[in-house]
Amino acid sequence: MSRRFRIARIRFVLAVLIVLLGLTASVPPAHAQQTPPDSLRLERLVDLGKLWGTVKYFHPYLAYRAIDWDSALVATIPTVEAATDSASYAAAVQTMLDALDDPATRIVEVDFPPMPPPGEPDPLSYWTVDSMLVVTLNPKTLGQDFFAAVGKLRGVAAEAGKARGLVFDLRSEFPIGLDYYLQWSGLDKALAAVPLAPPGQRKRLHMGYPPQQGMSSGGYYNGFTTSNGQYIAPSGSGIDAPVVFLINESGGIPSLALALQEAGRAAVVSEGTVSDAALVETHTVAMSDGVQASVRLGELIYPDGTAGFAPNLSVDGADEAVQRSLMLAQNFEPRPASRRPVAATAALPPDQAYADPAYPSLEYRILGAYRIWAVINYFFPYLDLMDDDWDEVFRAYLPRFIQAEDAAAYHLAVAEMYAHIRDTHGFLRSEVLNEHHGTGSPPFYLRWIEDAPVVVKYLDDEIAPASGIEIGDVILTVDGKDAVELAHHHTQYIAASTQQALMSRAVGQILSGPDSSKAVLTVRGKNGQVKTVEALRRAGWPRYTYRTGEVVRMLDDNIGYADLDRLTPAQVPAMFDQFKDTDAIIFDMRGYPNGTAWTIAPYLAEEPQAGAALFDRPMILGPGRSGRQQYTFTQRIPAPGPHVTRYEGKTVMLIDERTISQAEHTGLFFEAANGTVFIGSHTNGANGDVTGFFVPGGIRLGFTGQSVRHADGRQLQRLGLVPHVEVKPTIQGLRAGEDEVLQAAVEYLTSMPGK
């Protein structure tokens, strides 16, 4: 017995049992509406989000018209959820698109009408009794042989000079490439008695993602980019007869018709209502249930600042349209077309944060997921470096947004989804999560050392020691929870570029709790002694500084030292004056600098204005991979000023996981300047100016806005600066009060030949 037969038999037996038990009433009749399965409902919502994001960032109307696109989505989500079949789903989506009032952006049929069968095509042209030439261009008259049709059109061009007027009947069931036929046949040049320029087409341009709050040094902006229409030069013997183009909504309109209309040398007659939908660039979004949506990407732009398309005359009825076109050609008098003025520039307001309430309604939670997907999908420069497929992340987490039962669950879902971007610049600001994790912390600072959370510095030199905590203590438990497990638990909510960055941020979370509460800690101290201590949690301990003492000082063996975490640009000239006769300088970049790279590097550069870093800024012109391009430029070391004397000694830079962003960029400058040696451990691995956006619930999210690489093209993001000499601090060294990384740098320099 085959497996298929066994399954069929089981189904038959089950059906009989249902009948015998009288349960058939629970089975809906065939004509009853069925609730779609959860998987289909999810796919519909996922596709709705992708369509919404496509329109948001690429539809030109949203750049200058007051359209509340968020509200259009929020109103549509319930009807999409309630859709029982493909038709109702398509109708729901169309309702959202209706907010744009754009005939080019709509639900479209999947299939075009079939092409006419091969054979002798219908007549291409005919003469009227009063010497009017009517040229009919559609699939039936042009046939399937392109070059044969071009040959016939050349014959039309040769005869057209005898006509009192010409009518081009372009009505069709679907648009075809009329421009190609006219150009290859030379008919466009024959009809151009004067030079012609069709209207241009403008699209939205995004140069990176401008931050939705605050400032950015990335120079990100958005606006329009306009491509000019293809210039049409007249032939030697241009046809000067009146021309009328007869069109309908489903057919195409060649750019020649627009150029002649604009020059006042032709009129356009439409059968019924006609828009510019067939004239502008569009993008098709394939959705669930076989639904497809066409989205406008461009709009026609004329020299007078107007946009769109309008016929000179609109007529109802096929026969009347032909007669009115012939009459207009016989008694030609150009009539101005009424087009709409448009804004020349865009002034986009920032997205609303929807901060109140912190627990948004279902529709606004879904909007939150849509925003996250769209912004990262289109504007994150390191999309290719993510571990996971971003579409799959979107699909996996959307149900979490939908099912979140309270504010904490929603904000945690946002954090967990966002962690997948794997970018330490991917910060998340949420008052809800601050309260959830706790706003207070004990007065000491932890680092992840030897796979454990270790106390490395006091934030308060009186309160911290009084709690019994000592530098080098290993945290074993926090309020009864295993500290290592607790750190790994926090990693699921943290966007981090590298493992060292991830654990650095996670270990900073494990001590958090309610303000003014006491943290009960089990720690292992010197000699393996385990003890329990209590430490007061408080919000607002003094700002943590990694190091104290002199910012600039001399070490033994004629080596200079500068703490770049605290050095300011104003101090740089004096520093080099102090170090001018030293054998080497150690730059301590285990922290975050104050913009000193641009001041220091000219003192080190062997080659003035050497390339220091390669930037790739996302330049987005449309959806899909083809619309995503890169604006690439090289950032160079500034030219040395008149009072800069090049430093000839050796240089070393100390690095670790706290070296992030501008700190890593400092390393790129020093590397390019004189091959500065890196000593320590891998850096954080996140560089490229930070930008950000909001999602409902008042959640603010950040991400790296542009890609940065080494000057020779090597990857930096998600790798970090790689040390030439790898040294990591140890628990034993901390307890002994030693700076093992600094010691290793001194040993490296003193062991070099010539010392």
Domain coordinates in residue numbering, the chain: 3-25+37-101, 125-197+232-282+289-341, 435-536, 552-750
- Which residue, 261, 235, 232, is CA-closest to 246? 261
Q: What is the pLDDT of residue 20?
A: 32
Please list, residue by residue across 447-467, b when 16 or more beta carbons sit within 10 angstroms of its beta carbon and e when fewer do.
Answer: bbbeebbbbbbbbbeebbeeb
The burial class, CB within 10 Å (0-12 / 13-18 / 19+), for 44 is buried
Question: For the whole model, what pTM was predicted?
Answer: 0.90
CB 99 within 8 A of CB 76: no
Domains 435-536 and 552-750 belong to one CATH topology: no
The ranges of the chain with pLDDT < 50 are 1-33
Q: What's the confidence (pLDDT) of residue 332?
A: 87
Distances (CA, A) of 684 to 489, 598, 658, 730, 738: 20, 21, 6, 19, 23
198: nearest Cα among 245, 241, 262 = 262
Say yes or no: domain 125-197+232-282+289-341 is CATH 3.90.226.10.
yes
* CATH code for the structural domain at 435-536: 2.30.42.10
Token readout for 52 is 């919404």
Residue 128 to residue 136: CA distance in whole angstroms: 13
Identify which of 116, 112, 162 has the alpha carbon closest to the alpha carbon of residue 138.
116
Say which residue the tokens 């934030």 belong to.
459
CA distance 657 to 431: 27
pLDDT of residue 230: 83
Q: Are 638 and 601 in contact (CB under 8 A)?
A: yes
CATH 3.40.190.10 is the classification of domain 552-750: no
Residue 740's φ and ψ, nearest 5 degrees, are: -65, -30
Q: Please give the Cα distance from 260 to 232 (Å, whole number).
A: 10
pLDDT reported for residue 12? 32
Q: pLDDT per residue over 302-344, tens digit each?
A: 888 888 888 999 999 989 999 999 999 998 877 666 788 888 8
| CA nearest neighbour of 209 among 395, 372, 394 | 372
For residues 754 and 558, the answer to whether their CB atoms sit within 8 Å is: no
- pLDDT tens for each residue of 685-715: 999 999 999 999 999 999 999 999 999 999 9
What are the Cα distances from residue 432, in Å, to 410, 429, 501, 637?
10, 9, 24, 43
CA distances from 52 to 75, 79, 375 (A): 13, 15, 12
- 115-126 tens-digit pLDDT: 666 666 778 999
